């Protein structure tokens, strides 16, 4: 999939992703700051990913974790600050929701902010349980 709009390109081609740019984008977030490069590479390998490009440079990223049938978890949706305010996040979410590999029974995500972005696409706020390992070294061994 390769889409163009207003000088931007949105692609699900993982080979186009600039992992250094992805790391730089994620380092600006509350949820993934400091994520190790090898973890980012592994996440990309095992997810459906989207890169947003402007004049050849990567300025956005998003990924979806899925079993391709019952669930999709949208995560790591980020646009570089200087490219925000142009509807790019909305475009990226719309594209993810329409992607043929992500047409699952349930689609979910978690965010502390940007609720209105997702609620306009039919997402509802719910409560859930979570278990998180704080030992990143375990993740590196997997």
Cα-based distances in Å from 112 to 73, 102, 115, 116, 135: 15, 23, 8, 11, 23
Q: DSSP code of 68?
A: S
**pLDDT at residue number 140:** 46
Q: Helix or strand or coil: residue 113? A: coil
- List CB contacts of 82: < 8 A, sequence separation 6 or more: 59
Topology of 2-141 in CATH? Aminopeptidase (3.40.630)
Sorted by where each begins, the domain ranges of the chain are: 2-141
Per-residue pLDDT of the chain (142 residues; tens, 9 = 90+): 999 999 999 999 999 999 999 999 999 998 899 999 999 999 999 999 999 999 999 999 999 999 999 999 888 999 999 999 999 988 998 999 999 999 998 877 765 565 556 566 555 655 665 555 565 544 444 4
Residues 102/66, Cβ–Cβ less than 8 Å: yes
Q: Helix or strand or coil: residue 66? A: strand
Residue 137: closest CA among 36, 29, 16: 36
Residue 61: closest CA among 75, 41, 82: 75
**pLDDT at residue number 108:** 76
Helix H segments across 17-87? Answer: 19-26, 37-45
Q: Helix or strand or coil: residue 47? A: coil
Residue 104: closest CA among 74, 60, 61, 63: 74
């Amino acid at each position: 999939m390769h889409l163009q709009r207003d000088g931007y390109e949105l692609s699900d081609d993982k080979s186009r992703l600039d992992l250094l740019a992805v790391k730089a984008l994620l380092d600006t977030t509350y949820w993934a700051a400091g994520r190790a490069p090898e973890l980012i590479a592994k996440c990309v390998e095992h997810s459906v990913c989207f890169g947003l490009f402007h004049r050849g440079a990567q300025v956005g990223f998003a990924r979806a974790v899925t079993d391709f049938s019952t669930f999709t978890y949208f995560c790591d949706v980020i646009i570089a600050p200087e490219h925000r305010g142009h509807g790019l996040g909305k475009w990226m979410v719309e594209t993810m929701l329409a992607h043929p590999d992500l047409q699952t029974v349930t689609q979910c995500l978690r965010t502390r902010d940007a609720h209105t972005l997702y609620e306009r696409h039919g997402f509802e706020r719910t409560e859930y349980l979570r278990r998180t390992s704080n030992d990143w070294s375990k993740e590196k061994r997997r």
